[in-house]
């Protein structure tokens, strides 16, 4: 019984750590977007300063996983939680690293805004969609409701549409020069990747609940 308690305690710890990481990755994406869209240097600095702590949290999860698997053989949903945790942890770490890339671009153009007027609307919409997807991933992780996860597909479709829009902007008489174009193309890519990782987290929650892996990475 005592060992079983220790096991439950570890599972709870893992669940708690994942929830915390998901909230932090969601928050840091919003912070990076504020740094970018409002040319807010303090926000950019805060994003970058916080990464060491997020890396540490990531390592903590990676260390809990083998302990859980080795000490007690988890079964059914606990086993799926542990397997899912490895991938979700990697997804969420990437999300916060991508937020750092966004903050670095913001910082590199300060006091100007890295996003020139022609692209502001599209990039702001991408930032918003990415943040919404990150929030939903965090919610899905808390509720474990597959319906919430499936609804994320709509936001993801929106991100694809915005990517196409951005691509057209950049290839059809872009007026702001090469440097700004490269910045904006990269920003678009970073937001698209954040969205993809958020969807990945939600997918793994569905796997947790249903016990069946679903298509996709």
Identified binder of a copy of itself from the candidate list 59, 112, 120, 151, rule CB under 8 A: 59
Instruction: Pick the closer one to a copy of itself by CB: 32 or 139.
Output: 32
**Shortest distance, CB of residue 87 to a copy of itself, whole angstroms?**
6
Q: Residue 87 has which token pair? A: 């991938």
Mapped to the 3 state alphabet, what secondary structure does 25-46 carry?
Answer: HHHHHHHHHHHHHCCCHHHHHH
Q: Contact between 69 and a copy of itself (CB under 8 A)?
A: yes
Instruction: Pick the closer one to a copy of itself by CB: 42 or 55.
Output: 55
**Shortest distance, CB of residue 93 to a copy of itself, whole angstroms?**
6
Give the chain's end-to-end CA distance (angstroms, integer).
38
**Shortest distance, CB of residue 119 to a copy of itself, whole angstroms?**
12
Identified binder of a copy of itself from the candidate list 79, 113, 125, 150, rule CB under 8 A: 79
Match 């750590």 to its residue by tokens. Answer: 17
Residue 185, class by beta-carbon neighbours within 10 Å (0-12 exposed, 13-18 middle, 19+ buried)? middle
Cβ-count burial 162-174 (b if 16+ within 10 Å, e if not) = bbebbeebbeeeb
Q: Contact between 9 and a copy of itself (CB under 8 A)?
A: no
Q: Contact between 164 and a copy of itself (CB under 8 A)?
A: no
Span 167-206, contacts to a copy of itself by CB under 8 A: 170-171, 174, 177-179, 181-182, 185-186, 189
Kindly give, in sequence order, each residue whose CB lies less than 8 Å from that of residue 50, ignoring residues fewer than 6 positions away. 24, 28
CA distance linking residue 120 with residue 99, whole number of Å: 18
Query: Within a 13 Å sphere around the CA of 16, how many CA atoms are in the beta-carbon half?
Result: 8
Q: Contact between 75 and a copy of itself (CB under 8 A)?
A: yes
Instruction: Count CB atoms within 10 A of the CB of residue 129.
Output: 24
Identified binder of a copy of itself from the candidate list 66, 143, 154, 160, rule CB under 8 A: 66
- Site map for a copy of itself, 84-113, x if CB under 8 A? --xx--x--xx--x----------------
Q: Contact between 213 and a copy of itself (CB under 8 A)?
A: yes
Q: Residue 157 has which token pair? A: 């479709």
User: Interface with a copy of itself by CB under 8 A: which residues?
Assistant: 58-59, 62-63, 65-66, 69-70, 73, 75, 79-80, 83, 86-87, 90, 93-94, 97, 170-171, 174, 177-179, 181-182, 185-186, 189, 213, 217
């Amino acid at each position: 019984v005592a060992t079983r308690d220790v096991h439950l305690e570890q599972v709870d710890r893992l669940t708690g750590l994942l929830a915390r990481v998901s909230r932090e990755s969601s928050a840091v994406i919003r912070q990076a977007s504020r740094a970018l869209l409002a040319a807010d240097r303090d926000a950019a600095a805060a994003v970058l300063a916080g990464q060491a702590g997020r890396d540490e949290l990531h390592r903590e999860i990676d260390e809990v996983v083998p302990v859980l698997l080795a000490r007690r053989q988890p079964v059914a949903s606990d086993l799926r939680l542990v397997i899912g945790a490895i991938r979700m942890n990697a997804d969420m770490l990437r999300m916060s690293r991508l937020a750092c890339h966004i903050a670095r671009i913001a910082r590199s153009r300060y006091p100007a805004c890295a996003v020139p007027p022609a692209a502001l609307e599209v990039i702001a919409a991408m930032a918003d969609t990415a943040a919404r997807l990150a929030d939903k991933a965090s919610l899905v992780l808390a509720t474990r409701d597959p319906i919430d996860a499936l609804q994320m597909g709509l936001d993801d479709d929106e991100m694809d549409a915005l990517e196409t829009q951005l691509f057209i902007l950049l290839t059809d008489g872009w007026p702001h020069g090469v440097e700004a174009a490269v910045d904006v193309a990269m920003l678009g890519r970073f937001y698209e990747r954040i969205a993809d990782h958020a969807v990945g987290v939600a997918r793994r929650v569905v796997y947790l609940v249903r016990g069946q892996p679903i298509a996709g990475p």
